[in-house]
Amino acid sequence: MMEKSFVMMKPDTVQRRIMGKVLSRFEEKGLQLVGMKLIQIDEALAKEHYGEHAEKPFFNDLVSYITSSPALAMVIKGEDSISLIRKIVGATNPKEADLGTVRGDFALDMGRNVIHASDSPASAEREISLFFDEDEICEYEMVDNAWIYE
């Protein structure tokens, strides 16, 4: 199934200048970037995005982290891309994330875990519409499609 996922490089990834390395993980896999923008997330947007964690003890620190500096918001498209991207991203706690995953290779701390990715089709839809207008998503054909998909 062709899916779009919301993926966001968190402020630590922008500040550490490793956005290109992280992006290449998705490009090399054959996934397609259909939306991208560098944004300074404000408190209201951060609280809305992470609404499901509002009661958690780490919520305030999470909102501070996400609003501390710009983040790179993206929409990435591909076959079964939502669960696939979660695998590429790795476990929430970078110390437990497998090596070879983004968090396993680039992060050490739960509160500085480099990247966000939607965890289900419903969250992908909600998060994409929270961060992107419809006209900010580019639908286009990749010239190597026949070499990525059978």
Query: What character string, x for contact with ligand IDP (CB under 6 A) and - otherwise, covers 8-37?
Result: ------------------------------
Task: Candidates 16-24, 34-42, 111-119, 141-149: pick the segment binding ligand IDP (CB under 6 A).
Answer: 111-119
Could you give the residue ranges of the DSSP H alpha helices within 31-143? 43-49, 59-67, 81-89, 102-106, 121-131
Among 33, 36, 110, 130, the residue binding ligand IDP under the rule CB under 6 A is: 110
Among 113, 124, 131, 132, the residue binding ligand IDP under the rule CB under 6 A is: 113
Residue 88 to residue 144: CA distance in whole angstroms: 21
**Which entry of 10, 25, 103, 116 is annotated as an active-site residue?**
116
Residue 72 to residue 2: CA distance in whole angstroms: 23
52 within 8 A of 15, measured Cβ to Cβ: no
Site for ligand IDP in 41-100 (CB under 6 A): 53, 58, 62, 92
